[in-house]
Amino acid sequence: MQNFIYHNPTKLVFGKGMIARLSQLIPAGKRIMVTFGGGSARRNGVYDQVARALEGREYVEFWGIEPNPTVETLREAIALGREHRVDFLLAVGGGSVIDGTKLIAAGLRYEGDPWEIVLRGRADDTVPLGTVLTMAATGSEMNSGAVISRSETREKYAFQGSYPVFSVLDPQTTFSLPQRQIAAGLSDTFVHVMEQYLTTTGQSRLMDRWAEGILHTVVEVAPLIREERRDYDAMADYMLAATLALNDMIRMGVSQDWATHMIGHELTALHGLTHGATLAIVFNGTLRVLREQKRDKILQYGARIWGIVEGTDDERIDRTIARTEEFFRSLGLSTRLSEEGIGRETILEIERRFDAAGVRHGEAQNVDGALARRILEACL
Ligand code: NZQ
Ligand code: ZN
């Protein structure tokens, strides 16, 4: 196990009716800006619960943070926040609203253009933020990362912002999610675990078991949620699984990968494909192309998650990769680029972008333009 420092300061406030606690969670006297997406919070009653909890508090609202939040929209939010001298942010929504609000939090304390913060990859100073999560997927409610797009140039990059000071998770808020968003969220959660788990064996028994516990939970609840999305207990397990999948807990002292995500972000930037949907395609390609590099861990994963223990190692790996693709398909997601109308031109553009930036992603830092192309070709 490598050395590490673990410090996650986010307070998790979990369960039915917990949105009512907002008034105690936000310190008195704060000038608050509440941020929202496109309107789901208004339709499913979450807005009313937030407004009730904030009765008597001073706040302004900013609506319209879109899926894959853009710096163009967030500049407007920062301007509104400045105008009202906001010193506390409350994000109400999914990963996009939370990520966007992380950039607002940094932008309010930065003189230059917020895109510079994204390009630099980190924020130095931020206004505190809390969240009310309405969609389980990204883990943004309990981590410091954020992914921001720039529509003008069709780019999408991650930066490190601040951890929310608190996040309220009431699984009932997710009952209104469309099936496709639930599927994308399950895929995202699954691949978050994989990015931190599917590297080399023997680094930490404990991290492996925690990761496998989350994978088992996701595999178990996925069909239950697909059948009945108002199943509170299944949704509660799923929501917490999504948070724990990316709150630093399962990556203590172990190596990580993230190449699938980096390639996926390019597919979103170029085609607008939903984040979790990109992963359901690319991850299979990563497995196929890096099967030798990840051989031992694929065997462990196949045995412990899917019970694949018979046959030669190569047969087991083949079946494990096939079973993984089947899992994504069982969610109702595409697993091939061609199904989404994405072809060779996009693959070459992603290769060009990776080469131009000189990046080398992945646990072994070998996923450059050429390897990204091979991974994508394996998903055609
Ligand atoms: O905008 P509204 O009207 O709220 O609708 C949203 C949006 O259209 C809707 N939605 C959210 N909660 C709902 C709901 N609809 C009905 N009922 C509810 N309760 O769902 C749609 C998608 O929302 P979005 O926030 O975009 O989804 P998600 O949570 O998957 O976030 C995706 C973004 O997070 C980034 C992704 O790249 C993408 O930009 N990620 C952030 C990470 C992080 N901060 O750590 C890590 C991830 O790997 C990911 O990259
Ligand atoms: Zn993700």
Residue 106 Cα to ligand 1 middle (Å): 20
Residue 369 lies in a domain: yes
Around ion ligand 2, residues with a beta carbon closer than 5 Å are: 188
Residue to substitute in 46, 131, 149, 181 for testing ligand 1 pocket (most ligand atoms within 8 angstroms of CB): 181
**pLDDT tens, position by position, 348-358:** 999 999 999 99
Same domain, yes or no: 94 and 160 = yes
**pLDDT tens, position by position, 111-159:** 999 999 999 999 999 999 999 999 999 999 999 999 999 999 999 999 9
**pLDDT tens, position by position, 250-284:** 999 999 999 999 999 999 999 999 999 999 999 99
Ligand 1 and 39: CB distance under 6 A: yes
Cα separation, 19 vs 208, in Å, equals 34
Cα separation, 177 vs 195, in Å, equals 25
Residue 64 lies in a domain: yes
Ligand 1 and 160: CB distance under 6 A: no
Domain boundary among 158, 173, 188: 173
Return the residue whose CA atom lies nearest to atom 21 of ligand 1.
67
**pLDDT tens, position by position, 209-257:** 999 999 999 999 999 999 998 999 999 999 999 999 999 999 999 999 9
CATH number of 303's domain = 1.20.1090.10
Q: What angle do CA 306, 242, 173 make, to 5 degrees?
A: 125
Structural domain of 68: 11-173
Identify the CA nearest to 36 among candidates 14, 15, 59. 59
pTM recorded for the entire structure = 0.98
Same domain, yes or no: 168 and 189 = no
Residue 6 lies in a domain: no
Identify the CA nearest to 283 among candidates 227, 215, 202. 215
Residue 233 Cα to ligand 2 middle (Å): 23
Instruction: Give residue 63's pLDDT.
Output: 98
Domain boundary among 141, 173, 205: 173
- Ligand 1 atom closest to residue 261's alpha carbon, by position in its atom list: 48
Identify the CA nearest to 59 among candidates 81, 37, 92. 81
Domain boundary among 173, 198, 231: 173
For residue 32, the cross-strand partners are 59, 88
**pLDDT tens, position by position, 286-320:** 999 999 999 999 999 999 999 999 999 999 999 99
Return the residue whose CA atom lies nearest to atom 7 of ligand 1.
67
Residue 5 lies in a domain: no
Same domain, yes or no: 255 and 292 = yes
Residues 6 or more apart whose CB falls under 8 angstroms from that of 306 comprise 319, 320, 323
Q: What tokens appear for 313 in the block?
A: 């190692």
Residue 276 lies in a domain: yes
Residue 83 has what DSSP assignment?
H
Identify the CA nearest to 44 among candidates 82, 80, 93, 2. 93
Task: Report the domain count for the chain.
Answer: 2
Instruction: Give residue 177's pLDDT.
Output: 97
For 55, other C-beta atoms within 10 Å of its C-beta total 7
pLDDT tier, 340 (very low <50, low <70, confident <90, very high otherwise): very high
Residue 250 lies in a domain: yes
Residue 276 Cα to ligand 1 middle (Å): 10
Beta strands at 155-160 and 11-14: parallel, antiparallel or unpaired: unpaired
Same domain, yes or no: 159 and 298 = no
Instruction: Give residue 359's pLDDT.
Output: 97
Instruction: Give residue 377's pLDDT.
Output: 98
Instruction: Give residue 286's pLDDT.
Output: 98
Same domain, yes or no: 260 and 336 = yes
Same domain, yes or no: 265 and 357 = yes
Ligand 1 and 44: CB distance under 6 A: yes
pLDDT tier, 375 (very low <50, low <70, confident <90, very high otherwise): very high
Return the residue whose CA atom lies nearest to atom 31 of ligand 1.
95
CATH number of 155's domain = 3.40.50.1970
Residue pair 33/60 in contact by the 8 Å Cβ criterion: yes
Cα separation, 161 vs 377, in Å, equals 34
Same domain, yes or no: 166 and 187 = no
Residue 3 lies in a domain: no
Same domain, yes or no: 221 and 208 = yes
Same domain, yes or no: 34 and 85 = yes
Residue 2 lies in a domain: no
Residue with tokens 């069982």: 330
Return the residue whose CA atom lies nearest to atom 8 of ligand 1.
67
Residue to substitute in 96, 155, 271, 273 for testing ligand 1 pocket (most ligand atoms within 8 angstroms of CB): 96
Same domain, yes or no: 208 and 154 = no
Identify the CA nearest to 36 among candidates 83, 85, 82, 90. 90
Instruction: Give residue 178's pLDDT.
Output: 97
Same domain, yes or no: 122 and 246 = no
**pLDDT tens, position by position, 19-74:** 999 999 999 999 999 999 999 999 999 999 999 999 999 999 999 999 999 999 99
Residue 91 Cα to ligand 1 middle (Å): 12
Residue pair 65/36 in contact by the 8 Å Cβ criterion: yes
Same domain, yes or no: 162 and 195 = no
